[in-house]
Amino acid sequence: MTSTVEQVKSRLAITEVIGGYLKLERAGANWRARCPFHQEKTPSFFVSPARGTWHCFGCNRGGDLISFVQEIENLDFVGTLKLLAERAGVEFQVPNRALASLKDRLYLLHEAATRYYTEQLLKQPTVLDYLIARGLTTETIKSFRLGFAPAGWRNLGPVLNRQGFKETELITAGLLIAPTDTSRGPYDRFRQRIMFPLFDSVGRIVGFSGRIFGGDDKQAKYLNSPDTALYDKSKLLYLYDRARLALRTADRCILVEGQVDALLSHQAGLTETVAVSGTALSQDHLILIKRLTNNLIMAFDADLAGIKAGQRAIELALASGFEVKIAVLPNDCDPADLIRNDPNQWRHAVAEAVHIIDFMLTVLKRQQPNQNGAGQRALAHAIEREVYPFIARLANPLDQAFFINQIAVQLGLPDQVIKEGVEKVKVNPPAGGPIQPAAPAPAARSRRERLEETVFGLTVWRAALAPAARARIGSEKFDQLTATLAPRRDELTLAAEVAYGQADQLAGELDDLLDYWQAEIWREELAVLLAKLKQLQNAPPAAVTPLLKRCQELSEKINNLKKL
pLDDT value at residue 98: 46
In degrees rounded to 5, what are phi and psi of residue 560?
A: -85, -15
Q: What pLDDT does 435 receive?
A: 47
Residue 302 has pLDDT above 70, yes or no: no
Given this model, what pLDDT does residue 94 score?
A: 52
DSSP 76-141: -HHHHHHHHHHHHT----PPPGGG--HHHHHHHHHHHHHHHHHHHHHT-HHHHHHHHHTT--HHHH
Determine how β-strand 222-224 pairs with β-strand 205-212: antiparallel
Q: Is the pLDDT of residue 445 over 80?
A: no
> pLDDT band at 432, cuts 50/70/90?
very low
At residue 381, φ and ψ (nearest 5 deg) are -70, -35
Same domain, 42 and 191: no
What is the structure's pLDDT at 278? 75
Average pLDDT, the chain: 86
Same domain, yes or no: 406 and 257: yes
CA distance 235 to 291: 14
Tens digits of residue pLDDT in 462-498: 899 999 999 999 999 999 999 999 988 888 887 887 7
More reliable by pLDDT, 110 or 59: 110
Residue-range definition of the domain harbouring residue 394: 242-440
- Cβ contacts of 79 within 8 Å, gap of 6 or more: 103, 104
The whole-number average pLDDT for the span 103-132 is 94
Tell me: do 383 and 418 sit in the same domain. yes
Instruction: Name residue 185's amino acid.
Output: G
CATH number of the domain enclosing 68: 3.90.580.10
Report the range of poorest mean pLDDT among 113-127, 186-200, 295-309, 388-402: 295-309
Judged against a pLDDT cut of 50, whether residue 92 lies above it is answered with yes
Q: What is the pLDDT of residue 437?
A: 47
Which pLDDT value is given to residue 484? 92
Tally of domains in the chain: 4
Provide the pLDDT for residue 431.
46
Cβ proximity of 175 and 226 under 8 Å: no
Q: Is 148 left (phi over 0), alpha (psi -120 to 50) or beta?
A: beta
Phi-psi region of 563 (alpha: psi -120 to 50; beta: other; left: phi over 0): left
Tens of pLDDT, residues 244-276: 889 988 999 999 988 999 999 999 999 999 999
Q: With cut-offs at 50, 70 and 90, classify the pLDDT of residue 196.
A: very high
Q: Percentage helix, strand, coil, to 5, in the chain?
A: 55, 10, 35
Check residue 194 and give its pLDDT: 97
Look at residue 216 and tell me whether its pLDDT is greater than 80.
Answer: no
Question: Are residues 429 and 483 both part of a single domain?
Answer: no
Same domain, 375 and 343: yes
- How many helices (H) and strands (E) are present in the chain, helices listed first? 27, 17
Tell which of 440, 464, 486 closes a domain: 440
Q: Within this chain, do residues 296 and 427 fall inside the same structural domain, yes or no?
A: yes
Asked whether residue 192 is domain-assigned, the answer is yes
* Mean pLDDT of all residues in 451-459: 90
Residue 145's nearest CA partner among 170, 127, 121 is 121
- The enclosing domain of 319 has a CATH number of 3.40.1360.10
238 and 232 Cβ atoms separated by less than 8 Å: no
Q: Identify the band that residue 556 occupies on the pLDDT scale cut at 50, 70 and 90.
A: confident
**Letter string b/e over residues 502-522, b meaning 16 or more CB atoms within 10 A of that residue's CB:** eeeeeeebbbebbbbbbbbbb
pLDDT tens-place string over residues 36-68: 888 777 899 999 998 889 998 888 788 889 889
Domain-located, residue 232? no
Q: Is residue 235 part of a domain?
A: no
Rounded distance, CA 537 to CA 461, Å?
A: 49
- Per-residue pLDDT, 539: 81
CATH number of the domain at 206, please. Answer: 3.90.980.10
Q: Are residues 331 and 362 in the same domain?
A: yes
Question: In this structure, are 384 and 339 located in the same domain?
Answer: yes
